[in-house]
Amino acid sequence: MKQITILGSTGSIGRNTLEVIKHFPNEFRVFGLSTNSNIRILSDQIKKFFPEVVVVRDTFKAERLKRNINNKIILLGGEDGLIELSGIKVELLVMAISGSAALFPLIKAIETQPMIALANKEALVMAGPLINQKVKETGTKIIPIDSEQSAIWQCLEDRDKSTLKKIYLTASGGPLKDIDKRDFRKISLEKVLNHPCWKMGKKITVDSATLMNKGLELFETMYLFGVDISKIDILIHPEAVIHSMVEFIDGSVLAQLSITDMRIPIQYALSYPKRLRGFLKPLNFIKIKNLTFLKPDLNKFPCLTFAYEAAKAGGTLPVVLNASNEIAVESFLKRRINFSNIPKVIEKVMKLHKNIKKPTLHDIISVHQWARKKAEEVVNNFN
């Protein structure tokens, strides 16, 4: 029985993780769960999975939950509580917190946990080199959950990395693939949130529409597999059947394919190094009929260019990319800016930034805060 803690259990990845766990009651046991503020879903998860420790980051909500749960369960509140749970050793910690909020709990988990299933990409974007340094020091094993990174992981697994020539990071192209760039200004929030292939959280769905999600994945790939940015190509693949590919120096390419359901890569991250019999329908190639590939349109999706630029520059520029994107997406979700202004916010803040080449964690946090503030200012100026 693998003891598992899920940080961010009420989000999309967290909920899917628990669905997988539910199917394998003899394999997995939930030790800890955490939410930012969604105590309604957390209460429900507590009833179903009997965790020993739960954390609600919002201390006010934590107080409210206290009245409604069994007092045998340890309930912690606030950022401190989250860090505390990250530091209680289990067999696998699933990091399903989205955005920059994952950074500190992740660092604590790397210091404590033998194995981490990582769904968060923002922490890697912000502090990839520092995180990798810590991973090296502690020897913790990081297994990707993101479908693309899981695909690369499965293609590379235990293979000699010196034989890797190129990684094809595939992208469905998002919900706006076939929409003219000139119409981006008036595109509705509803349209953007209607992803053709994946059901995901709002932030990542908007990131899929701008292709920033793929941009952030460039960093994930770089840091998870120790690959230079020059070896990563983005390939638009609308059917989202191939989740990524690895080309070897001899011209052979390995690809991982599956239905577009996050429970597939989540299950593999949970069961790794084993595979367990899946409970979802398999791929049906006769029904699929066609797999297509296209070049990404960098003119239409400038966020990709910004991401490449930040990945090449390194230092704190990726922090700025990520922080300004967080604010821009938040503002779009609150209908404060229109869709075509998202890249404009990012571009403006990136241009204002003086890159710090080898940042400390402290530098990263201050640049992150600076960039969020600057992005807010840019958003306000649009109105």
Residues that bind a second copy (CB under 8 A): 154-155, 157-160, 163, 165-166, 168, 235, 242, 245, 247-259, 264, 267-268, 271, 274-278, 280, 282-283, 285-286, 288-295
Closest alpha carbon to 208 in 144, 133, 121, 286 = 121
Bond prior to 273 in cis (omega within 30° of 0):
yes
Per the listing, tokens 């993780």 go with 17
Nearer to a second copy, 276 or 352 (CB): 276
Nearer to a second copy, 107 or 242 (CB): 242
CB of 265 vs a second copy, minimal distance in Å: 8
Nearer to a second copy, 50 or 285 (CB): 285
Pairing status of strand 28-35 against strand 53-56: parallel
Count of residues for the chain? Answer: 383
CB of 214 vs a second copy, minimal distance in Å: 15
Q: Return the C-alpha torsion angle 270, 114, 50, 274, nearest 10.
A: 30
Buried b (16+ CB within 10 A) or exposed e, 9-48: bbbbbbbbbbebbeebeebbbbbbbbbbbbbebbbebbee
Per-residue tokens: 142 = 């990081």
CB of 102 vs a second copy, minimal distance in Å: 26
CB of 288 vs a second copy, minimal distance in Å: 6
Q: Are 266 and 20 in contact (CB under 8 A)?
A: yes
Nearer to a second copy, 1 or 249 (CB): 249
Nearer to a second copy, 60 or 285 (CB): 285
Q: Are 46 and 73 in contact (CB under 8 A)?
A: yes
Nearer to a second copy, 81 or 296 (CB): 296
Per-residue tokens: 172 = 């469905």
CB of 361 vs a second copy, minimal distance in Å: 36
Residues 270 and 51: their CA atoms lie apart, in Å, by 17
CB of 293 vs a second copy, minimal distance in Å: 4
Q: Are 303 and 210 in contact (CB under 8 A)?
A: yes
